[in-house]
Structure 1
Amino acid sequence: MLDKKMDIATLKAKKGIEKITAITAYDALMAHIFDGEVDVILVGDSLKMSFGGESETLGASMQEMIYHTKAVCKGAKHSFIIADMPFGSYATPNMALKNALRFYKNTAADALKLEVGIEKLPIIKALCEEGIAIMAHIGLKPQFMRFDGGFKVKGKDEAQAKELIDTALAMQEAGVFGMLIEGVKSEVSARITQALEIPTIGIGAGVECDGQILVWSDAFGFFDEFKPKFVRRYCDGKAMLKDAIRAYAKDVKSQAFPQAKESY
């Protein structure tokens, strides 16, 4: 349990010493539950899938991401909060800077995350030079799923591995404080992690990353339509909640609830 607010310096100092723990959240209630139990809370555009029932993340808007980030910031006072820049919000350096500043001015997010390739280097430089803390997201990039023809694992050959390592090093040079590596072969993620001075957080990228993140509804069994290979379920939340709502409905119908002690 964190006893004070997590910051970038502390996160960086964990590299090679202690694994970083991270989970997603999209509202104040869940953020409050997770707060201090993990180092990092990500307000991911994954909310379009796990929160909004969509099949992809591309529909997330700036307005939605700011709304959910504000809610998470109200619920979490100790964990480090990172917010996703949504698809289409950082196509050019000027657009990225305008929208990143909007995030910073309207929320208490500690940092922003962008899905990047080497072509985004000028954008990353512009944001970092303006004093905006950035985490780069490489490997499998959900915002590129239509371009890639689905969610494709990366680093399957040496050419892909070299491209990922070169991108990671360039992003580090540009000023990012950390790297999220998604859907990358474990041995390649290990090489990236070893090559960088900044911490890496993996999802479906093996144990050698400096930390791990999962989507909370996957990790705690509230979403069960399918289970990605990289997910471990730590409880069957959907079944527990189903049992609870059925018990409540039964008590209401039988007039077992409310009793005198629950009435005015």
Structure 2
Amino acid sequence: MSTTFTLDTSTSRANPTPAPMKRLTIPAIQSHKQKGVTAQPLVMLTAYTARMAQLLDPHCDMLLVGDSLGQVIYGLPSTVPVTVDMMCAHGAAVVRGSYHSVVVVDLPFGSYEASPEQAFATASRILKETGCAAVKMEGGEVMADTVRFLAQRGIPVMGHVGLTPQAVNALGGYGARGKSQAEHDKIMRDAKAIEEAGAFATVVEGVLEPIAKAVTAVSDIPIIGIGASVDCDGQVLVIDDMLGMFERVPRFVKRYESLAEIVSKAVETYAGEVRSRSFPTGDQTYQPK
């Protein structure tokens, strides 16, 4: 039986415990799409910590340790400064906190583009240090040889085409892609090239909906949409966005909760009680017997 880790709330330590079920596998994810059709869409969310992974895991098929952690965890201006060390630390935490979902970890900018050999070195390190099942890399045709190199050596790869955040400096921002015929054609070629190279699934981000539908229709592997189409084979969102941790709500995000307001209100109440000396009370202090 596979094992996961349970956080002991009395000590905040992670202790290995038997998992209640076997973790999903890459073939299981691929099997959701049969003869070009996915009957039940795949559910994917980002996770960066063990506790959040515990909460998301029972409901998700895949957990993505995205390089978006650069912005939502570290307050960086983009994903570009994210390091392999960051991805390894957070990837290991998410694996420890989950037992059901396939955990996929992003390869950060600069850690895989130079050559297939560089990508293999980075990906193998991430798999070893985190225990994750797969890595994700951005790029289409230009990265096809690298995807093939990794896939042939036993490293499952999830592709990522369309809006690729690591290329924000070249793209000039985070606007939707595919507005021109040239961009439309490139996204279609990119998705096909990644599939033919051996990717087990591909994220299609921030593209005009007809393109997302077309890519999904012609692909034999699952297409995971974000800012794409309901007709994709699955969906992914950044957990902090869908839970309302930030004021800005991207167009492609549905806010399911407003956790920032809940946290702010709780802290406001706590601060008031501390300043008025109404906390702690006898219930929160140790009295002599």
Q: Is residue 73–residue 107 contact of structure 1 (8 Å, CA) maintained in 2?
A: yes
Q: Is residue 244–residue 255 contact of structure 2 (8 Å, CA) maintained in 1?
A: yes
In structure 1, the partner of 2:152 is: 129
Q: Helix, strand or coil for the counterpart of 1:115?
A: coil
Deviation at 1:166, TM superposition (A): 2.0
Superposition pairs of residues 56-71 of structure 1, within 5 angstroms: 56-71=78-93
Superposition pairs of residues 21-36 of structure 1, within 5 angstroms: 21-36=43-58
**Cα deviation 1:189-222 (Å, max 9, x = unaligned):** 1010010111011110121111111111110111
Query: TM-score scaled by structure 1?
Result: 0.95
Give the distance between the partners of 1:217 and 1:229, measured in 2 at CA. Answer: 15
Give the paired residue count.
262
* 1:10 aligned residue (10, 21, 28): 28
Query: TM-score scaled by structure 2?
Result: 0.87
Give the distance between the partners of 2:270 and 2:22, measured in 1 at CA. Answer: 38
Give the distance between the partners of 1:83 and 1:243, measured in 2 at CA. Answer: 33
Superposition pairs of residues 1-264 of structure 1, within 5 angstroms: 4-15=22-33, 16-91=38-113, 92-224=115-247, 226-264=248-286
**Cα deviation 1:162-205 (Å, max 9, x = unaligned):** 22222212211111100000011111110100101110111101
Deviation at 1:57, TM superposition (A): 0.5
Larger Rg: 2
Stretches of structure 2 lacking an aligned partner (at least 5 in a row):
1-19
Q: Is residue 140–residue 193 contact of structure 2 (8 Å, CA) maintained in 1?
A: no
Q: Helix, strand or coil for the counterpart of 1:132?
A: coil
User: Which ranges of 4 or more aligned residues in structure 1 deviate by more than 4 Å?
Assistant: none
Give the distance between the partners of 1:258 and 1:150, measured in 2 at CA. Answer: 48
Q: Is residue 3–residue 36 contact of structure 1 (8 Å, CA) maintained in 2?
A: no
- The 10-residue stretch of structure 1 (27-36 or 134-143) with the greater mean CA deviation from structure 2: 27-36
Q: Is residue 47–residue 63 contact of structure 2 (8 Å, CA) maintained in 1?
A: yes
Stretches of structure 1 lacking an aligned partner (at least 5 in a row):
none
